[in-house]
Every structure is written in structure tokens, then in C-alpha cells.
Amino acid sequence: MSPEEFLEWCQFQEGRYELVDGVPVAMAGAKRRYDQIVVNVLGSLASQLQGHRCRLFTADTAVRIPAGNVRRPDAGADCGQFDDDAASVE
């Protein structure tokens, strides 16, 4: 499956998936302790990036990896051109 096909396919799925070597792989849910770590990371990043044009994102936003894979990191910052309708960042 190509990254484009995968992102289209994801729109109709119940859970979250990553694309690994052309194959969709279901992501496991996190426990509360891990989720709290992600919240703390996002809070820290938000304070450090205050005044910058970067925008934070969560695992709901896919990240295209140059090798053709698509990952969903728990937290990230996008400092490129922002598109409200995009399903992924590069």
C-alpha cells in the first residue's frame, strides 16, 4: 500500500494504524501512566515553543517518513507550512 492509499484507507477505520513497509499495522492503546507522560511532554513543548510558528500535534496526525512508511508519534511539532485539512505532516 502506498502512503497516499494508506491515508485514504485510514479515514474509514475505527482505530489508529501506522504503515510499515506497505502494510497497515494496528496501534495499541496506551495506559493512563503513559498518557500522562505524553500530556507532560506536550505541555513542556508548548511552553518552549511559545512565540514560535511551530504547532504541536498528537498521534491523530500521521507523519510521512522518507522511506515510505507512515508513523503516528505520540507528540510532535510541525514548523512547516500549516494546512488545516492535511491528515499528515512530512
pLDDT tens, position by position, 25-52: 999 888 999 999 999 999 999 999 999 9
- Structure-block grid coordinates of residue 10: 485510514
Query: Which residue range forms the structural domain that includes residue 44?
Result: 3-89
Question: Does an H or E element contain 41, and which?
Answer: helix 32-48
Residue 30 Cα to chain centre, angstroms = 15
Q: Please, which pLDDT band fits residue 54 given cuts at 50, 70 and 90?
A: very high
Write down the pTM of the prediction: 0.83
- Structure-block grid coordinates of residue 48: 518552549
Q: Please, which pLDDT band fits residue 86 given cuts at 50, 70 and 90?
A: confident
Residue 84 has pLDDT above 90, yes or no: no
- Long-range pairs for 7-14 at CB < 8 Å and ≥24 separation? 7/62, 7/70, 7/87, 7/88, 10/62, 10/87, 11/87
Task: Provide the number of structural domains found in the chain.
Answer: 1
The enclosing domain of 83 has a CATH number of: 3.90.1570.10
Q: Please, which pLDDT band fits residue 62 given cuts at 50, 70 and 90?
A: very high
